[in-house]
Every structure is written in C-alpha cells, then in structure tokens.
Structure 1
Amino acid sequence: MAARIPIAVAALVRDGHVLLGHRHPSRRWYPDCWDLVGGHVEPREPPHRTVTRECLEELGVRVHDPVPIPMTVSDATLDVHAFLVTRWTGEPVNAAPDEHDDLRWFRPSELAALRLAHPASLFSILSAVRVED
C-alpha cells in the first residue's frame, strides 16, 4: 500500500460561518467543488505550519493559534490534518485564483446542499462551526 498523502486544511470560522473555497474546474483532484482551504504538507513541515503557510498563500491572511480538530474523509489516499481557525490578521481574499475560482462564507444550514470535495467531512465542519457559535 502506498503512503498516504499528508494534507492540512483550515476551517476559518467567523460569526457562525465557515469559509470555503470553490476548487477551480481545471484542478486535477476534486475539481468544481467546495472545500476547506489548505494543501500538501511539505517534508519535515509540521501540519500546523502548513495550514499557516497555505492560508497566507491562498487567502492572504496570517492565522493565529490553529487548533487541531478531527476530520473524516473517505479518500484513503489522504492523511488529513484539519484545524479550526478563529483568529487571523487580514481579510481573506482569493489570492490563488488558479486554485479556487470563488471564496464564500457559509452558514451551517447551507453546507449539506453543496457539492463538497469530501462529503464525509460535513459533520466535522459543522462541529467546528458549532464550537464557535
């Protein structure tokens, strides 16, 4: 069995809403669906640093104190490290338009109707939003 690919993602939560990025339709993996912002963990990079780096690269924000949260995904090739982020400096913008063609804040009640990259993660995302509600 091949080694699982380490990924770190951030659930930015503000005022009971979670920020999701719409993956560009030209993306090789999980195109044209909504997902948490994040990316590949580099060799010898701790996942919390990955999430900090990815949020700066993709959203233009500096996150503070990312908190690990459990995240369920059905893709057995991925080793997902998820973080709840409730504090950051700057206002999130789409700083990586080649990766995401849209960014949007969603209420928990809107998430089930979305085409998510990892539908199994819905409960994890909802739990993260409720923690801050």
Structure 2
Amino acid sequence: MAARISISVALLVRNGLVLLVHRHPSRRWYPDRWSFSAGGHVESGELPHQAVVRECLEELGVQIHDPVPIPITINDPTLHMHAFLVTRWDGEPVNAAPEEHDDLRWFRPDDLADLKMAHPETLPNILTAIQVATA
C-alpha cells in the first residue's frame, strides 16, 4: 500500500459561524462540494501546523494565529488529515484561489447537515470544534 498523503486543513470559526469553501466543479478530487476553510498538502520539510498557516495565506489571504489541532475522522484511506481550529487571524478571508474554489461562505452550524460535503463524516468533528470555539 502506498504512503498516505498528508493534508492540513483549517476550520475558521467566528461569532458561532464556520467558514467553508466550495470546491470548483473542475477539481479532480471532491469536485462541487463544500470543504474546510482552507487546506492542502503538507510539503516536504513542513510540519502540519506550518502547512495550515501557508494554506490559509495562499487560499484565503489571511495570516492565522495559534491554530489548535482538532481530532478528525475521514473515510479516505489514502489521506492523513491534520485539522486545525482557527479563531484568530489578520485580514478578512477572500477567495484567493479561484482555480480551486468557486465560493466561500459563513454558515451556522444548523446549516451544515444540508450541504454536499467533501467529507460528510467530518460533520461531528466540525460541530464539536464550533462548540469549543464558542464556549
């Protein structure tokens, strides 16, 4: 079996809302689905928390502070996903990667169950992270 691909993802939470991005329909993996605020491959020589900082800057145009690891469960055996809760950042998130995402939006926790998610099995993890962030 091939080595799993290491991915770091961010979950930006503000005022009880969570920021999600919509993956462009032309994407090879998980097209036309909602996903974590930002994320991507952990590059060689990079730690997962460094990757999530870089990805947030590249994809959202924000400098995040103090990303907190959160447990995550996914059903894709080819991926090793590192998820981080982010509640502090500089700047206002924008779609800085239109080739990857065609929309980004803030959602209430109650809205998430109706979305077509890239990894629907992560919904309990996302809801728990929102509760932690707003506690």
Taking structure 1 as the reference length, the TM-score comes to 0.99
Q: Which amino acid aligns with 1:5?
A: I
**Rounded Cα–Cα distance in structure 2 between residues aligned with 1:2 and 1:34:** 27
Q: Secondary structure at the match of 2:114?
A: coil
> What's the CA shift string for 1:36-80, capped at 9, x where partnerless?
110000011000000000000000000000000001111111000
Residue correspondence of structure 1 range 46-57 to structure 2 within 5 A: 46-57=47-58
Q: 1:104-127 deviations in whole A, cap 9, x for unaligned?
A: 011110001000000110000001
SS in 2 for 1:84: strand
Matching residue of 1:83: 84
Q: Distance between the aligned counterparts of 1:8 and 1:132, measured in 2?
A: 19
Percent of aligned pairs with the same amino acid: 70
In the other structure, the counterpart of 1:104 is: 105
Instruction: Give the structure-2-normalised TM-score.
Output: 0.97
Q: Quick one: distance in 2 between partners of 1:114 and 1:41?
A: 27
**Hey, which bits of structure 1, 4+ residues long, moved more than 3 A?**
none
Question: Which position in structure 2 is the counterpart of 1:22?
Answer: 22
Q: How far 1:93 moved relative to its partner?
A: 0.3
1:4, CA displacement in angstroms? 0.4
How far 1:132 sits from its partner (Å)? 1.6
Gap runs ≥5 in structure 2: none
CA RMSD of aligned residues (A): 0.5
